[in-house]
Amino acid sequence: MTREELYAAARGMLDRAYVPYSHFPVGAALECEDGAVYTGCNVENAAYSPGCCAERTAVVKAVSEGHRRFRRIAITADSDRFCAPCGVCRQVLQEFAPNLEVLLVNRKGEVKELTLPQLLPYSFGSDDLTGREE
């Protein structure tokens, strides 16, 4: 899949977002190492904490279908600013792809390319549970 196709898949999720409180739709498209793509949108809840971000929606869909290795994720919002993953999403992404490529796309189509280590330095991973060095 080309980057442009991945961006389009993320943008296609904006209309599916359930955002009656923030009115801030976010879409994500997660590409697995084998080329499969899983999309997600944010889903809000009146109690706030039960809501789910677009990035975690995409990860959960991919994992529930047996995928555990990810190459890159495109994230977009209907905003001139870039929409980066929240801290919880960063930690979930780190669980499966500590070196993930993160592509942030604003409504103008401008792209900011980052890596997950840039967004989540000194992350906590499975090696931290055992005290092993990488």
- Rounded distance, CA 74 to CA 30, Å? 7
134 among known catalytic residues: no
Distance CA 64, CA 51 (A): 18
Q: For residue 115, what are the β-bridge partners?
A: 101
29-51: b (≥16 Cβ within 10 Å) or e? bbbbeeeebbbbbbbbeeeeeeb
- Among 5, 55, 101, 134, the one annotated catalytic: 55
**Cα–Cα nearest to 56, from 45, 46, 64:** 64
Distance (Å) of CA 132 to CA 26, 40, 107, 125, 126: 36, 34, 42, 10, 9
Catalytic residues, by residue number, are 55
